[in-house]
């Protein structure tokens, strides 16, 4: 069995004149990431390996989770292939993972994450919002055999605020 937790970066700010990869989180993005991380950790094990896109907004979101998980920032692997909006690079990355990992967490971007969740999960989602989290479980032993799995968990920040 393998599992992937996909976390879309928090709400980013457009008020700074920086490149896309350098865009920071808004305050709302920070708060939403904290809400989702705290909800996740209450009833889920921390994945064995954590990966992040190098984009500032994704890496900042990742660091919030890692802090709440009481892990060192050294536990984060930054991967250029995860700065992907279509999903092809993310899937190629996952299929090349060492099989010793049974559970991973990836911080990245849409439309890639919504697409992956809908292709490989068994629950359709219209859109994974910023700071949204989806956990997918697969009945496989090798990452290269990635196929249809089950959607085990969806956490949407807006639903935590109601």
Q: pLDDT value at position 78? A: 98
Per-residue H/E/C for 84-127: CCCCHHHHHHHHCCCCCCCEEEEEECCCHHHHHHHHHCCCCCCC
pLDDT digits (tens, 9 = 90+) for 73-123: 999 999 999 999 999 999 999 999 999 999 999 999 999 999 999 999 999
Q: pLDDT value at position 161? A: 87
pLDDT exceeds cutoff 80 at 16: yes
Count up the domains in the chain and report the number.
1
Q: Average of pLDDT values for 148-156?
A: 97
Q: 162: which 2 tokens? A: 């109601």
pLDDT exceeds cutoff 80 at 162: no
pTM here is: 0.97
Q: How many residues does the chain have?
A: 162
Q: Which domain holds residue 83?
A: 2-160
Domain of 74, CATH number, reads: 3.40.50.1240
pLDDT digits (tens, 9 = 90+) for 17-54: 899 999 999 999 999 999 999 999 999 999 999 999 99
| Residue of 126, 115, 153 whose CA lies nearest to 137 | 153
């Amino acid at each position: 069995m393998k599992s992937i937790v996909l976390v879309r970066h928090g709400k980013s700010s457009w008020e700074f004149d920086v490149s896309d990869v350098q865009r920071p989180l808004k305050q709302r993005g920070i708060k939403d990431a904290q809400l989702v991380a705290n909800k996740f950790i209450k009833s889920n094990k921390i994945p064995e390996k954590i990966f992040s896109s190098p984009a500032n907004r994704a890496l900042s979101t990742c660091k919030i989770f890692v802090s709440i998980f009481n892990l060192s920032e050294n536990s984060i692997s930054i991967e250029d292939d995860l700065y992907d909006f279509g999903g092809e690079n993310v899937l190629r990355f996952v299929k090349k993972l060492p099989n010793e990992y049974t559970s991973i967490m990836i911080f990245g971007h849409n439309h890639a994450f919504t697409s992956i969740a809908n292709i490989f999960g068994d629950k359709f989602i219209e859109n994974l919002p910023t700071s949204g989290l989806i956990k997918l479980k697969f009945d496989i032993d090798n990452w290269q055999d990635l196929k249809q799995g089950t959607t085990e968990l969806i956490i949407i920040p807006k639903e935590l605020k109601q």
